Structure 1
C-alpha cells in the first residue's frame, strides 16, 4: 500500500578526487544529493575539477535520523491529536443533541440500522475467515512499516538487484531498488494472493451476500447506524447472523474499492511498470502517488475503528467469531487473537536491514 519507486542509478566517477568515498553527501551548487559508495578515479592529466564541490564522509545513524524526524514532526503530531480529540467530542455532542429531536428518533425507529439478510444468506462466520483476518492484518502491518520507510525518503540501508542467473532473463536490464522497497513489493504480492483467495472463497461459499448491498435501504440504515455509533449508543446487531448496514458498506468498500485501488497504484509505482510508453501516459505516476498514500490512511482508519468497536461491543464474543468461528463468550478467540498480535509485533521488530539483506540475498545481489 504506501510504496514508491526509488531507483537510484550509479553515477560516473568524480574527476579530481583520489579516494573511495562511502555513504558520502556531495554538495554541488548548494544542493544535497545522496551518492552511492563507489571508487573515485584520479583525474587524468589536463582534466579540470568540478567547481563548487565539497565531499564529506559523515553518515548519520538511522536512530539519529528517526529522532530528528520525530523532533521535526512532534508539534504537528501533537496539534493533530488535539484537533482530533476536540472534533470527536464535538461529533459526539452533536449526535446526542440530534437524537433528542422527535424527527430523528422517528428516523431511527423506521431505519434501525440493519437490513434483513436476503433469503439463502449463510449464517455464521466460516473458519477460513479466521486465517484471512490474521493474514490480512499481518501483511497490512508490514505494508505500513515499509510504506512509512519509503515516504521518509531516507537513503535505503541496502539495495537489491535481480540476479538474472536465478530468474528468467528479460530484455530489460535488472533495476536496482532499496531493501525496503524490495520487501514492500514482496509483501504486497503476498497480500494480493490472500485477497484473491478471499474473493474466490467469498463467492464460492455465498458469504458475498453478507457484505454486498443488494437493497437501497442500506443507505438510510447506514446513516442511522452511524448516528447511533456517534452518540455512543451502539445499534443493536448480531454480526453472526447479519452485519449492520454501516459495517456492510465498510466491508464492501474495503474489499471491492480500496483494495483494488491499492493494488493498481502499487503496481504502477513498482519496478514492474514500464519506464516509458503508452501505459506511462495512460496512468501518470503523479496520479498513482496521489491515490496510494490516502488509501493507506483509509486502511489504517478502518482498522482503528474496527478494533475499537470489536473491543467495546462484546470483545470475547467478537474475537471468537472472527478468529475461532465460534459464537460463544469463552477465551479461545482472544487467545488466538493475542498470539496473532505477538506474531505481528515480532515481524515489525525483526524487519530490520540486517535480516532483510540476508533474505534478499537469496534472490539477487545485495549491496550496501
Structure 2
C-alpha cells in the first residue's frame, strides 16, 4: 500500500540531473559469451556431496532412511511367513475362492493392447527418465523439504544435506549439493538453470503425450481396464496380495483383465499421480501462487514441493515394481502385450523392448555430457517448449493483501554473491549516506536519487512471499517505493520495453550482476524498490541499501544491492545479451514466472 498524497512527488528533494546521470553501467558488465560448462563454470563451484536421506522425527531427531532397506527386508520376510501361514486356512481359502483377484469388466470392455498404447508406453518411459533425473537435480539445489511456507532451518521434515551451520551469512547456494554421475541431470552442483530447462521442457512433452493418452483411452474404451468399476476391487486386491506374498502368484491375464492390485496401481498412476504432478508443479509458480491467494494460503509452495516429491517417489516405486513383475510373471508374454500387441510367447516383443532400452540407455548416458557441451542448445530448446507458458503467467498482475504480519517468516535465507568492492564497502561504512541511485536510459528525465530522496517518495509497503529458484521460500514485509513512482518520475520513452537493474555485487565470473525486467511489470502493484525489511532498515545480507521486489518472478531476478536502473529497448544490447547475469553465465531464463 502507498501513503496517499495529492502530489506524488510533493516534498521530494530535487533529483540530481547531471552528466553522470546518463552514464550507463554497461562497461562494468562481463560480455563474454559462455557456450559450455567446464571446471571453471560459474566461478568454479566446488563439488559438495550431501548425506543419506533423513526424515525428522519429533522436534530434533533424524531418521536415516537407509535403515528402511534392512527394515523392509525384515518386514517382507515376516509378511511372506504370515501369508504362507494363513493361505491354507479354510476361511482364507473361502475368501480367495470368492475373490480370486480380478473384478469383472463390462461386456463391451476391449481385449488386448492396441499398437498406439505400446508407443505411448515407450514415450512415457523415455520422457520420465529425463523428468526424474532433472527433478532430483532441482531438489539437490535446496536439499530440504518443509510443510510450511517458512523454510526455517531445523523445521525441514526431510533433508539430504547436513544441518544448516550457525553462520548468519550462510547462503542457500552454499547449501546446494552435487549428485553422483549418472543420477542427476545434469547433476553438477548448482546447475539448476539447466536442470529446469530439462524438467519443464520435457514436462511439456510429457503433458502432451498424456493428453493424447487420455483422448485415446476414453475414445477406445481402454479406460475401463484402468478404472475400478466395482467395490469388489478391494477384497480382490487383498486376495492378490496374499497370493503374491505367499509366493504362489496369481495367474496373469493382463491381455484380458488386470488383477485388482495392478488395477489400483495403474489407476493411481494414471488418474491421481499424473495430475498431481501437474498441480503440485504449478503450485510452485510465483505468479500463480501470488495471484490466487485463496489457494496458495493453504497450498503453499512448500506443501506443493513436498507433495511433488511424494509424486516423484511414487513414480520411481511404480517403475521398479512394474518392471520387476513384468520380468518375473511371464516376461515374453508380458513384453509381447506391451510392445508387440500380441498375446503369445514369441520373442518379438522382447527384441522391440531391447531396442527401446538401447534408446533409453543411450539417451540416459548422453544427456549429461551433451548438456555440458551444448548448454545453449538446452537453454534454447527448453525456452521454445515452456517459454510461452512462462510469458503467459507473467501477465498475471498480483494483488496485495494475501499476508499479514503474523505470517512473516522467522528466518529468511540469504543468497547470492555478496558485494566486496571498495566502492560498496565505503558506502556501507558511511551507512549509505553518500549512496545515489542512478536511473537513466531511454527516459525523459534521467535522475540520481539519494536514499533521503527515495524515502521522500510516496511510501509503499507489502507483505509478500519470496520464491527462490532453488526451492526455498519466505514471507517478509517490505517497505520502500513502488516502481510506478520511479516510472512516473523519469518518464520512459515509448521505445523503452525493458528495465535493467544493476547491482554492486560482482558475479562469480566477474562483471557486476544485473537482470532485465519487462517494463509492463514496473506498473504492477507488487513491484517495488525496498529499503526496509520487516520494519527495519534493509540488512547487508538481504540487499542493502536497495533491492527489487517483483512478486511474479523468481528470486534470482530480484536484484539486491542495486546501484542503478536503465530503461532500454531490448536486453539483447546489455551484457551477454540474454536478459541477466544468470542467463548469460548459468543458462537461466529471462522469463521465470513458473
What is the aligned partner in structure 2 of residue 262 from structure 1?
A: 277
What is the aligned partner in structure 2 of residue 146 from structure 1?
A: 134
Q: Structure 2 residue aligned with 1:125, among 100, 113, 118? A: 113
Q: 1:303 to 1:159 in 2, by over 3 A?
A: closer
What is the aligned partner in structure 1 of residue 247 from structure 2?
A: 232
Q: Distance in 2 between matches of 1:159 and 1:121?
A: 50
CA contact (8 A) 1:113 1:245 kept: yes
Q: 1:275 to 1:179 in 2, by over 3 A?
A: farther
CA displacement at 1:214 relative to structure 2: 1.4
CA displacement at 1:234 relative to structure 2: 1.0
CA contact (8 A) 1:99 1:105 kept: yes
What is the aligned partner in structure 1 of residue 194 from structure 2?
A: 179
Q: 1:229 to 1:59 in 2, by over 3 A?
A: same
CA displacement at 1:356 relative to structure 2: 5.4
What is the aligned partner in structure 2 of residue 350 from structure 1?
A: 366
CA displacement at 1:360 relative to structure 2: 2.9
Number of equivalences: 295
CA displacement at 1:128 relative to structure 2: 0.6
Q: Structure 2 residue aligned with 1:110, among 73, 98, 105? A: 98
Which range moves more in the overlay, 336-345 or 280-289?
Answer: 280-289
Q: 1:110 to 1:280 in 2, by over 3 A?
A: closer
SS state at 2:138 partner: helix
CA displacement at 1:187 relative to structure 2: 1.1
CA displacement at 1:195 relative to structure 2: 0.9
CA displacement at 1:140 relative to structure 2: 1.3
Q: Distance in 2 between matches of 1:199 and 1:58?
A: 46
CA displacement at 1:250 relative to structure 2: 1.3
Q: Structure 2 residue aligned with 1:94, among 46, 70, 82? A: 82
Q: Distance in 2 between matches of 1:103 and 1:157?
A: 57
Aligned CA RMSD, in angstroms, stands at 2.9
Whether 1:246 aligns to 2:261 is yes
Structure 2: unaligned runs, 5 residues or longer: 1-27, 31-40, 55-63, 142-175, 178-186, 384-577, 587-594
SS state at 2:73 partner: helix
Between 1 and 2, higher relative CO (CA 8 Å, sep ≥ 6) is seen in: 1
What does the per-residue CA deviation read over 1:320-340, in whole Å, with 9 as the maximum and x for residues that have no partner? Answer: 100111112111111111122
| Pair member with larger Rg | 2
Q: Structure 2 residue aligned with 1:360, among 378, 382, 386? A: 378
Whether 1:60 aligns to 2:76 is no
Q: Whose strand fraction is larger, Structure 1's or Structure 2's?
A: 2
Whether 1:197 aligns to 2:216 is no
Q: Distance in 2 between matches of 1:227 and 1:274?
A: 45
What is the aligned partner in structure 2 of residue 211 from structure 1?
A: 226
What does the per-residue CA deviation read over 1:38-71, in whole Å, with 9 as the maximum and x for residues that have no partner? Answer: xxxxxxxxxxxxxxxxxxx76314xxx3xx33xx
CA displacement at 1:82 relative to structure 2: 2.0
What is the aligned partner in structure 2 of residue 295 from structure 1?
A: 311
CA displacement at 1:244 relative to structure 2: 1.1
CA displacement at 1:270 relative to structure 2: 4.3
TM-score where L is the length of structure 2: 0.46
CA contact (8 A) 2:197 2:379 kept: no
CA contact (8 A) 2:124 2:206 kept: yes
Q: Distance in 2 between matches of 1:215 and 1:157?
A: 49
SS state at 1:113 partner: coil
CA contact (8 A) 2:336 2:344 kept: yes
CA contact (8 A) 1:185 1:270 kept: no
Q: 1:269 to 1:108 in 2, by over 3 A?
A: same
CA displacement at 1:84 relative to structure 2: 2.1
CA displacement at 1:213 relative to structure 2: 1.6
Q: Structure 1 residue aligned with 2:52, among 61, 73, 77? A: 73
Q: Distance in 1 between matches of 2:101 and 2:243?
A: 9
CA contact (8 A) 2:103 2:259 kept: yes
CA displacement at 1:271 relative to structure 2: 6.2
TM-score where L is the length of structure 1: 0.73
Structure 1: unaligned runs, 5 residues or longer: 1-17, 21-35, 38-56, 161-176
CA displacement at 1:215 relative to structure 2: 1.5
Q: Distance in 1 between matches of 2:264 and 2:101?
A: 12
Q: Distance in 2 between matches of 1:220 and 1:288?
A: 33
Q: Distance in 2 between matches of 1:215 and 1:107?
A: 17
SS state at 2:104 partner: coil
CA displacement at 1:350 relative to structure 2: 2.0
Q: Structure 1 residue aligned with 2:347, among 331, 343, 346? A: 331
CA displacement at 1:236 relative to structure 2: 1.9
